[in-house]
A = this chain, B = another copy of it.
Amino acid sequence: MRLATLSHGTPDGALILASRDAQRCLAATGIADTLQQAIEHWDAVEAPLRALASRLEQGEGEPLDHGHLLAPLPRAWQWLDGSAFPQHGELMQKAFGLPPIETDRPLMYQGLSDRFLPGHADVPLPSEADGIDFEGEYGIITDAVPMGTPAGHALRHVKLVLLINDWSLRAIAPVEMKTGFGWVQAKPACSVAPFAVTPDELGEAWKDGRVHLPLEVTLNGQWFGHPHGSEMAFGFHDLIAHAARTRDLVAGTIIGSGTVSNAGYASVGSCCLSERRAIEMIASGKPATPFLRFNDRIRMEARGGPFGSIDQQVTAVR
């Protein structure tokens, strides 16, 4: 089933279910008012939500007002973003002459979670000089995960799957990374495609804790890339176990895959400007593709996937 959140004058919005054709919806009122509530009581609400979803597929429902959709979880208690596609890291290291990050553990940082932007809303940022970049990635929402949960028991905690644009400011990122403290300024709020979907909604495309779909990105209407979600070195179950090693994960934790990136980047392209620039630097000594300018438009969609699209412009903070 496909869950979404309708703008409602409150920070958490109102939970709705959307039909598979994204044309109709039914409010989840009486079952769970918000997606956060649903995740906190998933075992109790899943069956009634699925009953609602099947009524939708039988033709019930109101017209879905796409213009009023928020991020599925408009704010979360925790956002942990991985970097699980090794090809991305290798290209960045090669282009910038960095030493490889020597670790057999997943890479992960804690990011801003007090707001997630709608996939179709403008994104206000302070300066083009910050090196504005997008990062297309997949993500999951977990229920409560006890500290010490091993990877082998972690997949059952994946309740919903997401498509995310992790906005990044590349002029600041290496400065913050060099301190070892991770990113604060370099990682403003992410945008999220409108539908949070249960893993079964992905069918065969959900296996090994990975989303086996190409993530198609266009920039100002031009093809930019369509790398495939299958090439994660660690699956989402591994990322959950990593995150829960020394903490209980709160219900509603969002975990990201990091920028989708493939070994066959020469033909499938990339999901972020920084990686394309790295490829250009390796090939010709310098990057040719600029970072984003205000009013540039970025579009992301998982080909054949159920998440809906991200389609938005970067704007200057007023």
Question: A residues engaging B (CB < 8 A)?
Answer: 75, 77-78, 80, 83, 101-103, 105, 107-115, 124-126, 130, 147-148, 169, 172, 175, 177-186, 188-189, 242-243, 245-248, 250, 253, 317
Q: Do the beta carbons of A182 and B182 come within 8 Å of each other? A: yes
A110 contacts across to B, CB distance below 8 A: 109-112, 182-184
Known contacts A75-B77, A101-B179, A103-B179: A247-B112 contact under CB 8 Å: yes
Q: Do the beta carbons of B242 and A317 come within 8 Å of each other? A: no
Known contacts A115-B250, A126-B245, A247-B188: A108-B181 contact under CB 8 Å: yes
Known contacts A180-B180, A184-B242, A247-B188: A126-B107 contact under CB 8 Å: no
In chain B, what residue has the closest Cβ to A125? B246
Q: Do the beta carbons of A242 and B185 come within 8 Å of each other? A: yes
Known contacts A113-B77, A189-B247, A247-B188: A83-B169 contact under CB 8 Å: no
A317 contacts across to B, CB distance below 8 A: 147-148
Q: Do the beta carbons of B148 and A184 come within 8 Å of each other? A: no
What is the copy number of this chain in the assembly?
Answer: 2
Q: Do the beta carbons of B245 and A181 come within 8 Å of each other? A: no
Q: How far is the CB of A245 from chain B (nearest CB, A)?
A: 5
Q: Do the beta carbons of B77 and A180 come within 8 Å of each other? A: no
In the complex, 12 of the A-B residue pairs with CB atoms within 8 angstroms, ordered by the A residue number, are: A77-B77, A78-B114, A101-B180, A102-B178, A103-B175, A109-B110, A114-B253, A126-B245, A178-B180, A180-B180, A182-B182, A184-B243
Q: Do the beta carbons of B185 and A245 come within 8 Å of each other? A: yes
Q: Do the beta carbons of B126 and A184 come within 8 Å of each other? A: no
A103 contacts across to B, CB distance below 8 A: 175, 178-179
Q: Do the beta carbons of B112 and A126 come within 8 Å of each other? A: no
Q: How far is the CB of A131 from chain B (nearest CB, A)?
A: 11
A114 contacts across to B, CB distance below 8 A: 77-78, 250, 253
C-alpha gap A124/B247 in the complex (Å): 9
Q: Do the beta carbons of B246 and A185 come within 8 Å of each other? A: yes
Q: How far is the CB of A162 from chain B (nearest CB, A)?
A: 18
14 additional contacts (CB under 8 A) given A105-B175, A169-B246, A181-B182: A78-B114, A101-B178, A103-B179, A107-B181, A110-B111, A112-B247, A114-B250, A125-B246, A180-B182, A181-B183, A184-B242, A185-B246, A186-B246, A188-B246
C-alpha gap A107/B111 in the complex (Å): 15
